[in-house]
Amino acid sequence: MSRSATQVHRPGDEADAFPRRLLLHVGTPKSGTSFLQDVLFSNREALAAHGLLYPADRFDEHFLAALDLMELPWGGLEEQAVGVWDRVAERVRAWPGTSVVSHEILARASAPQVRRALSSFGETEVHLVLSARDLARQIPAEWQENLKHRRTLGYADFLDRITDRSRADDVASWFWAVQDVPDILQRWGATLPAGHVHVVTVPQPGASPTLLWERFAGVLGLDPLAWDTTQVSRANPSLGVPETSFLRMVNREVNGGVLAGRHYREFVREVLAHRTLSQRTGSPRLGVPEDVRAWTAELAESGIATLKERGYDVVGDLDELRPAPPDQPFTDPDRPDPGDVLDVAVQSTVTLICQAAALRDRTDALGAELRGAIAERDQARREAGLWTRFKRRVVAASADSAVLRVALAGYRRLRGR
């Protein structure tokens, strides 16, 4: 049975009754974290009025804080992350109530990084929150996420790496660092009381679409109906089999210095993947082969037993961490239907042509503005007096004449400049 992690401090309440608390939500990726962060960011002012601080002035502030904490390069974005963790921690320490910090890549933090993170909050009472989904759904989602970050490895290759118990490979190492729920809770929760560790399970398909939000709201101590979740715009929908295969082909062609990171983020990840390909819902969905499903079921049993043994607060039902039976046969994304992929390619080409046309229109408009500004400037110069024009000519000529430069310097000294 879940219990609220906090009572929210309201203006006018006795401060002593509500110690400073932090709800530190550290993952896992692909478990509704983006949705929760969007709700919190969109409603941050109203939440603060109710005593709950979401310390972020930009929607990706906690992401930057995580990059700062873990010294992670991220396609150039890390330049904006210098000092962000300490700034967020400072706001948490200064807030006389409950704060929420949330980003899913925090799951990856190593033990020394966790130590630094927890100590940065001073005397604040830390509650750890981890949202978790069954591995049979996490595995294809993580592979897809790899591809959205420019990787080109095939699905079978990905499965081989993550099922290798050595976890020596970079891909496997990252996957398990952010998806091994008992390990994440051990790293982050080793110094916290079990009652301060809250595991939120993601409902299985077919459950009420508001159930996950209700569970998160329960942990935050909020009435789920009182907060607007309809304005959430930053969705992270999944791609189908041919769409994912197409994305992998694109990556092969644009990597190796062909397409700079900022262009990849805008055109491939945003325009193609998020806004175009994810809207195609009729194609086969990504799943796992039957032998992998059986293996995830074994891991789930072991993980559930460990979580029960440790006595954490469970918000939801640990049974939801067991993989559900598949609702469609497995379709191998390494051997997609060529016709399906062609269809994806045609739609993608049209989308990018339209995008290029829109950018051309914008460039043309900017060009017209610039030409107008230049014409105005030239007109102003023509209307300027003879003395002004003479001075401009002298300044221009001084670039090639030491005598003029000396004379000009003397003139400026006389004018007190």
Partner 1 sequence: MTSTAGRAGHTDAERARYESTADAWADHLRSGGTTPWLPFCSRRGPEPGADDRPAGPSRPWPAEPRAVQLELVRRLALRARQSRAGPAPAAFTALADQVLSRPTPGRGSADRPLAWPEDPSAPADHRGAPPVDPSTLPAGELLRLSTGVVADLLVALGPPVGPPVAPRSALGRLAGSALAGSGLRAWRRRRRPSYRVLGSTAAAATVRAALAGAGPPLGGGLRDARVLVVVDSVDALLADAWASRVRHGSRTRWRTFVGACAARGTLPSSAGVDDLAAAWAARVGPDRVHVVAGRTPEELAAALGLGATPTAPRDADGPLPPYAVDVVRRANAVLRLRVPRESRPWYAGRLTEVLGDVPAWAPSSPRGGLRVPDRHRHWAATAGHRLARRLADAGYPVHGDLGVLSRQGGGPPGPPSRQTLEAMLDAVLVLGGAVPPGRPLAQGGRR
Cβ distance to partner 1 smaller for residue 107 or 217: 107
Cβ distance to partner 1 smaller for residue 23 or 147: 147
Burial zone of 260 (CB within 10 Å; 0-12 exposed, 13-18 middle, 19+ buried): exposed
**Does 158 contact partner 1 by CB under 8 A?**
no
**Does 269 contact partner 1 by CB under 8 A?**
no
Give the span between the Cα atoms of 61 and 84, in whole angstroms: 7
Q: Which residues contact 309 (CB under 8 A, 6 or more apart)?
A: none
Residue 26: closest CA among 193, 231, 224, 181? 181
The single-letter code of the amino acid at 37 is Q
Single out the residue of 5, 23, 67, 241 in contact with partner 1 (rule: CB under 8 A): 67
Cβ distance to partner 1 smaller for residue 111 or 356: 111
**Does 150 contact partner 1 by CB under 8 A?**
no
Q: In the bound complex, what is the minimum distance in angstroms from residue 230's beta carbon to partner 1?
A: 36
**Does 113 contact partner 1 by CB under 8 A?**
yes
Q: In the bound complex, what is the minimum distance in angstroms from residue 149's beta carbon to partner 1?
A: 11
Q: How many residues bind partner 1 (CB under 8 A)?
A: 44
Q: In the bound complex, what is the minimum distance in angstroms from residue 206's beta carbon to partner 1?
A: 28
Contacts with partner 1, 166-205, as mask; x by CB under 8 A? xxx-x--xx-xx--x-xx--xx------------------
Cβ distance to partner 1 smaller for residue 39 or 177: 177
Q: In the bound complex, what is the minimum distance in angstroms from residue 48's beta carbon to partner 1?
A: 29
**Does 68 contact partner 1 by CB under 8 A?**
yes
Single out the residue of 256, 282, 329, 385 in contact with partner 1 (rule: CB under 8 A): 256
Cβ distance to partner 1 smaller for residue 71 or 383: 71
**Does 112 contact partner 1 by CB under 8 A?**
yes
Q: In the bound complex, what is the minimum distance in angstroms from residue 400's beta carbon to partner 1?
A: 15
Cβ distance to partner 1 smaller for residue 141 or 307: 307
Q: In the bound complex, what is the minimum distance in angstroms from residue 292's beta carbon to partner 1?
A: 8
Contacts with partner 1, 16-35, as mask; x by CB under 8 A? --------------------
**Does 298 contact partner 1 by CB under 8 A?**
yes
**Does 45 contact partner 1 by CB under 8 A?**
no
- CB-facing half-sphere around the CA of 234: CA atoms within 13 A: 14
Q: How many CB atoms lie within 10 A of CB 12?
A: 6
Kindly report the three-state secondary structure assignment for every residue of the chain.
CCCCCCCCCCCCCCHHHCCCEEEEECCCCCCCHHHHHHHHHHCHHHHHHCCEECCCCCCCHHHHHHHHHHCCCCCCHHHHHCCHHHHHHHHHHHCCCEEEEECHHHHHCCHHHHHHHHHCCCCCEEEEEEEECCHHHHHHHHHHHHHHCCCCCCHHHHHHHHHCCCCCCHHHHHHHHHHCHHHHHHHHHCCCCHHHEEEEECCCCCCCCCHHHHHHHHHHCCCHHHCCCCCCCCCCCCCEHHHHHHHHHHHHHHCCCCCCHHHHHHHHHHHHHHCCHHHCCCCCECCCCHHHHHHHHHHHHHHHHHHHHHCCEEECCHHHHCCCCCCCCCCCCCCCCHHHHHHHHHHHHHHHHHHHHHHHHHHHHHHHHHHHHHHHHHHHHHHCCHHHHHHHHHHHHHHHCHHHHHHHHHHHHHCCC
Cβ distance to partner 1 smaller for residue 256 or 339: 256
Question: Per CB under 8 A, which of residues 357..396 are in contact with partner 1?
Answer: none
Q: Which range, of 138-146, 226-234, 298-306, 368-376, touches partner 1 by CB under 8 A?
A: 298-306
Cβ distance to partner 1 smaller for residue 303 or 336: 303
Q: In the bound complex, what is the minimum distance in angstroms from residue 359's beta carbon to partner 1?
A: 20
What residue ranges bind partner 1 (CB under 8 A)? 67-68, 70-73, 78-79, 81-82, 108, 110-113, 115-116, 163-168, 170, 173-174, 176-177, 180, 182-183, 186-187, 256-258, 260, 291-292, 295, 298-299, 302, 306
